[in-house]
Amino acid sequence: MIKWKSSKLKLRSGESEVEEYKKCIDELIHHDNVQMMKQFKHHHSITCFEHSVNVSLYSYLICRIFGLDYKSAARGGLLHDLFLYDWRTTKISGGKHAFIHPKIALSNASALFRLNYIEQDIILKH
């Protein structure tokens, strides 16, 4: 079961829309590496996992409103910070975290899941 505790968004949509969102991310959300994002703080009191679920959910809803590829938006949003390290204490060769972590997230996500071009682009462009 997914808990949306950090999301300030209150879903007023019908159950079918919520279920459709969950189907978009179901393959991803339960994977051990995605769950590992719960171990890393993003900013302040939110974890990378909570942040990524929020990005995923908001992206899904916005793309539905505008008739865009909401499935890819939900998946890309969930995986966009799959870098799996504490960026405050870990030194990364090749550049600063802010500039290098999208490439690391894409590499990690691509190794775990089959991603389409849009999902890859979302992760890389962050």
pLDDT single digits (tens) 16-73? 778 899 999 999 999 999 998 888 777 778 888 998 999 999 999 999 999 999 999 9
78 vs 9, which has greater pLDDT? Answer: 78
Q: What is the pLDDT of residue 6?
A: 46
CA dist list (Å): 83 to 15, 63, 70, 111? 32, 25, 23, 12
Residue 90 placed within a domain: yes
Range of the domain at 36: 17-125
Number of domains in the chain: 1
Residue 7 placed within a domain: no
Q: Which residue is it, tokens 């949509």? A: 13
What per-residue string of b and e applies to 73-104 under the rule 16 or more CB within 10 Å gives b? bbbbbbbbbbbbeebeeeeeeeeeeeeebbbb
Q: What is the pLDDT of residue 67?
A: 95
Q: What is the pLDDT of residue 85?
A: 60
Residue 3 placed within a domain: no
Q: What is the pLDDT of residue 64?
A: 94
Residue 48 placed within a domain: yes
Residue 11 placed within a domain: no
Structure tokens belonging to residue 87: 């960026």
What pLDDT, in 10s, does the model give residues 93-121?
666 655 567 888 888 899 999 999 999 99
Residue 12 placed within a domain: no
Residue 75 placed within a domain: yes
CA dist list (Å): 121 to 23, 54, 68, 75, 104? 21, 19, 15, 11, 13
User: What letter does residue 55 receive in the DSSP assignment?
Assistant: H
Q: What is the pLDDT of residue 48?
A: 87
Q: What is the pLDDT of residue 96?
A: 65
